[in-house]
Amino acid sequence: MTPFWYAIVALACLAGLINFALAAARRKRATTALVRVVAGIISIALAGGILFGKAIAIAHPYISKENVFIGFGIFVAIVFFVPSYIERASGDQPKVSMQERAARPVNATVRLRDARAGDEWMN
| pLDDT tens digits, one per residue of 25-80 | 988 888 888 888 998 999 899 889 888 888 888 776 677 778 877 887 888 788 88
Residue 112's pLDDT is: 47
Answer yes or no: are the C-beta atoms of 5 and 32 closer than 8 Å: no
Q: How far is CA 80 from CA 11, 52, 59, 100, 102, in A?
A: 13, 24, 30, 30, 31
For residues 4 and 96, the model is more confident at 4
Q: What is the mean pLDDT of the chain?
A: 78
Confidence bin at 17 (pLDDT 50/70/90): very high
d(CA 19, CA 22): 5
d(CA 110, CA 107): 10
Angle between helices 30-55 and 65-89 (to 10 degrees): 170
d(CA 115, CA 112): 6
Q: Average of pLDDT values for 94-109? A: 65
d(CA 46, CA 52): 10
119 CB-contact burial (10 Å; exposed 0-12 / middle 13-18 / buried 19+): exposed
pLDDT value at 110 more than 70: no
Residue 17, helix vs strand vs coil: helix
- Answering whether pTM is above 0.85, one says no
**For the chain, domain boundaries:** 3-96
Residue 99's pLDDT is: 73
